């Protein structure tokens, strides 16, 4: 496992601390891990939505669909 040190603004630090206090995550590191997972999921969903839009516009899909499925 690697360690990442990230400077946070006071606003972000308050948000992270509140998430821990509210029980969203057990600690600050877990907040960061959850945020990274959420961002990856959001990007995968956006990739699918973009592909659907391309189909509606009559464009051909490009890329590896197996890789796209893995993201989901």
pLDDT in tens, 9-57: 999 999 999 999 999 999 999 999 999 999 999 999 999 999 889 888 8
At 68, is the pLDDT very low, low, confident or very high (cuts 50, 70, 90)?
Answer: confident
- Cα separation values, 61 from 47, 48, 51, 64, Å: 11, 11, 7, 9
Residue position matching structure tokens 């999921």 = 41
Residue 3 pLDDT greater than 80, yes or no: yes
Q: Which residue has the higher pLDDT, 62 or 49?
A: 49
> What's the pLDDT score for residue 55?
84
Helix/strand/coil percentages in the chain, nearest 5: 65, 0, 35
Decide if 30 contacts 50 (C-beta within 8 A): no
Tokens for 23, please give them.
Answer: 């029980």
């Amino acid at each position: 496992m690697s360690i990442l040190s990230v400077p946070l603004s006071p606003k972000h630090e308050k948000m992270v601390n509140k998430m821990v206090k509210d029980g969203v995550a057990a600690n600050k590191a877990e907040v960061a891990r959850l945020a990274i997972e959420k961002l990856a999921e959001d990007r995968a969903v956006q990739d699918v939505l973009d592909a659907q839009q391309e189909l509606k516009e009559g464009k051909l899909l490009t890329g590896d669909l197996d890789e796209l499925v893995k993201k989901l």
